[in-house]
């Protein structure tokens, strides 16, 4: 039985969003073997039509390409969207810490006030909007005090350019510093059946401080979809090609987990991936689950997970299966 789309509040912001969010990293093409703009726009619009309001992007996804595609897709639909984007990975300045190179160009982690003011204007332009619902520091910058970063973000909030503040790829100390400096509404962290370390570190802190947790890579870059078997090969700049997490042995273990999940999926008339996403959203402290989609079929499939409710018995069975099969995974 499918229910209404699950919605939740982002921290204490009073912003209500679908618990399933569309993640648009792959739509930027970078590290995902390129992109198809028309398909990507259709995927975003299909997500909105299916009740997904939370759309997550970032300047770093294809150096602005993902934001531009999102902007085209939401034109005329802005009021249906809770738009999240990010700051802190910059290529217009050499300030901060060098993080990586993109097409031979250095990208730095930098969250100084000057960069944040510059970045928000660029994002607003690419997205074709005059406000961002949820603005996230993408990667933390050890060269800038969090208090300075928060001051800049709180100013943007006062100006109406952003409506809430988030932080991604954080430590517990980072979260404490953000909370001390202003209103942090959410963190965005990697979390899935095969990466659960935040359950012991960040989740208890966020529950205490009423900070939402947006989980990214809920399907572990596709590994937990049930569609990537031991025989799959990855081409070009697809980041999974040399990723030890996608070793043949890991994929065999995941295949056994998927066999265990199959009866639950069948009972709900759902796919295995939908069950994995629903399980993620029913874990204590996990408020939102960001799922990528590069075409309308994937988008609609992800959306249905937001209407799926697993019983406590099913949650337990899935947890036991994960504990049995997902041991000693190469990371």
Q: Are residues 161 and 169 in contact, defined by beta-carbon separation less than 8 angstroms?
A: no
> Does residue 32 have a pLDDT over 70?
no
Euclidean distance between CA atoms 153 and 147, whole angstroms? 10
Strands 186-190 and 212-216: parallel
The third-level CATH classification (topology) of the domain covering 16-229+272-309 is TIM Barrel (3.20.20)
Annotated catalytic residue within 61, 135, 178, 216:
61
Q: What confidence tens digit (pLDDT) does each residue in 124-146 have?
A: 999 999 999 999 999 999 999 99
* pLDDT, averaged across the chain: 93
Closest CA to 145 of 137, 134, 157, 155: 137
Comparison of pLDDT for 177 and 233, the residue scoring more: 177
Full-prediction pTM beyond 0.75? Answer: yes
Q: What confidence tens digit (pLDDT) does each residue in 233-288 have?
A: 877 777 787 888 888 888 999 999 999 999 999 999 999 999 999 999 999 999 99
Question: Is 178 a catalytic site residue?
Answer: no
> Does residue 72 have a pLDDT over 90?
yes
What pLDDT score does 34 carry? 61
Q: Domain limits of the chain?
A: 16-229+272-309
Question: Position of tokens 């099913």?
Answer: 314
**What is the signed CA dihedral for 264, 267, 271, 277, rounded to 10 degrees?**
-50
């Amino acid at each position: 039985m499918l229910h209404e789309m699950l919605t939740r509040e982002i921290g204490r912001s009073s912003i209500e969003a679908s618990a399933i969010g569309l993640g648009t990293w792959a739509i930027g093409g970078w590290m995902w073997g390129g992109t198809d703009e028309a398909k990507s726009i259709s995927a975003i619009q299909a997500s909105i039509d299916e009740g997904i309001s939370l759309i997550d992007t970032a300047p770093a996804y294809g150096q602005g390409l993902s934001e531009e595609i999102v902007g085209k897709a939401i034109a005329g639909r802005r009021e249906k969207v809770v738009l999240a984007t990010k700051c802190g990975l910059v290529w217009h300045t050499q300030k901060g810490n060098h993080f990586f190179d993109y097409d031979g160009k250095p990208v730095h982690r930098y969250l100084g006030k000057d960069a944040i003011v510059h970045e928000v204007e660029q994002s607003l332009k690419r997205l074709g909007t005059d406000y961002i619902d949820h603005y996230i520091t993408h990667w933390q910058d050890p060269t800038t005090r969090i208090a300075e970063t928060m001051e800049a973000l709180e100013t943007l909030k006062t100006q109406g350019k952003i409506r809430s503040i988030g932080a991604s790829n954080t430590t517990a100390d980072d979260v404490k510093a953000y909370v001390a400096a202003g209103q942090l509404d959410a963190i965005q962290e990697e979390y899935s059946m095969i990466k659960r370390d935040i359950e012991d570190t960040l989740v208890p802190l966020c529950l205490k401080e009423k900070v939402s947790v947006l989980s990214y890579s809920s399907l572990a870059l596709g590994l937990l979809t049930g569609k990537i078997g031991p025989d799959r090969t990855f081409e070009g700049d697809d980041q999974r090609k040399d990723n030890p997490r996608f070793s043949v042995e890991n994929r065999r273990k995941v295949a056994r987990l998927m066999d265990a999940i199959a009866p639950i999926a069948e009972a709900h008339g759902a796919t295995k991936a939908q069950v994995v996403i629903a399980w993620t959203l029913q874990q204590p402290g996990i408020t939102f689950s960001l799922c990528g989609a590069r075409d309308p079929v994937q988008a609609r499939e992800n959306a249905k997970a937001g209407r799926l409710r697993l019983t406590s018995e099913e949650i337990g069975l899935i947890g036991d299966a994960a504990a049995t099969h997902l041991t000693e995974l190469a990371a």
